[in-house]
Structure 1
Amino acid sequence: MKTDVRTRFTKKVIVEAFLSLLREKPLSKITVKEVCEIADINRSTFYKYYLDCFDLVEQLEQEALRETGEMIQAMRAQKPETVLTQMLEQVQKHAELFRLLEGQGDSDRFTQKIAMVCFQSMEQGRAGAQEQNTMPFAFVTGGAGAVIAYWMRSGMKEPPEQVARVILALCGKALQ
């Protein structure tokens, strides 16, 4: 379903206002009223698109995960290192948003979801892939998510290709 220009603009203004507040304080301290004041919109406009600020975060996460999954699906024929590198380049490109999302709630929760989307897609492309609810899969996604979270927290100094090689080397046995 195509979204009209006004809707996209309104959502963009809401998200920008929300992210500016999220840079200053935790999600639990942000109110819809504050978002609306900064975005210069009515509360009813906010509620047209989001239930509350937690729903806004959830929708931002889902959009990031959807885009990541689509990008990875488009690259299914590529080597795992290439796919993982591209995913890490996306994380780097949207670093501020991902850091803000990662900073909410459970430690490393968002990067775990990103890693899961990446490895699910990579596993689907392999012949004879195992089910993704196995211990090795849990290990791989947990470890990869932790490495990505560490890379983000440490300022993303290493290039994405290097981080991808490290993740694949650490997870190599479990992926065989």
Structure 2
Amino acid sequence: MKDKTDRRVKYTRALLKNALIELMQTTHISKISIKALCEAADVHRTTFYAHYKDQYDLLLQIEQELFEDITRYLDVQEVPQEQQGFPLTIQKLNWILQYIQENAPVVKALLSVNSDIAFQRDLMQFMDIIPINFGMGIDEKTREYIGIFYIDACISVLNKWLEGGMAEPVEKMSAFILQLMYDGISSFEQK
């Protein structure tokens, strides 16, 4: 009996998550009512409240599951010996972008203007996108500004890639992001 209950719980939560992702395609999270969410998922409000406090709680659960999935995804990948210890390598970024590509609707909704901005920052920090050794000899305040610049640039690149239907291959996007991160904008100038 417990297995049947667990399946129903998983199914209900999946319905609610999919409904929220769908609604976030056009509506900001703050404007999504529980009523609209329940109608889209075809579940009763009491069912919703049995699982979540509000739409933000559901969004947080989706975000946490995404991070857990990425962690599990990366854990099964083997990092070449020469790349171990680096905060962000081409291989690691390829794997992350591959995961994003495979889960595009969810990531697109979470990175959209209709989501919570905190997710965007959490994602980049989760990915260790800011090189650990950058800015040696730079004061802490300046390092913070540089870090924010990197984070926002990467988020914008990911959004542009997702909005463009991920036309560029994962490998090309990984190389682009790393070149931007480690070599700067001037490295793209025609010589």
Interval containing the TM-score (normalised by the shorter chain): 0.7 to 0.9
Corresponding residue number in structure 1 for 2:174: 164
Corresponding residue number in structure 1 for 2:37: 35
- Confirm or deny that 1:86 pairs with 2:88: no
Residue of 145, 155, 163 corresponding to 1:153: 163
* TM alignment of 1:1-176, pairs within 5 A: 4-75=6-77, 77-78=79-80, 79=83, 80-103=89-112, 104-105=114-115, 110-119=119-128, 135=144, 140-172=150-182
- State, as a whole percentage, how many aligned pairs show the same letter: 27
- The CA distance in 2 between the partners of 1:130 and 1:24, in whole Å, is 40
Distance 1:130 1:72, change over 3 A: farther
TM-score (norm 2): 0.70
Offset at residue 31 of structure 1 (A) = 1.1
**Equivalent residue of 2:168, what SS?**
coil
Distance 1:26 1:164, change over 3 A: same
Cα RMSD after superposing both structures: 3.1
TM-score (norm 1): 0.75
**Equivalent residue of 1:119, what SS?**
coil
Q: Which amino acid aligns with 1:44?
A: T
Q: Which amino acid aligns with 2:175?
A: R
For 1:25-57, what per-residue CA distance to the aligned partner results, in whole angstroms no more than 9, with x for missing partners?
A: 332222111222232322121111111112211
**Equivalent residue of 1:155, what SS?**
coil
- The CA distance in 2 between the partners of 1:130 and 1:74, in whole Å, is 26
Q: Which structure 1 segments of 5+ residues have no match? A: 124-128
How many residues align? The count is: 165
- The CA distance in 2 between the partners of 1:12 and 1:95, in whole Å, is 16
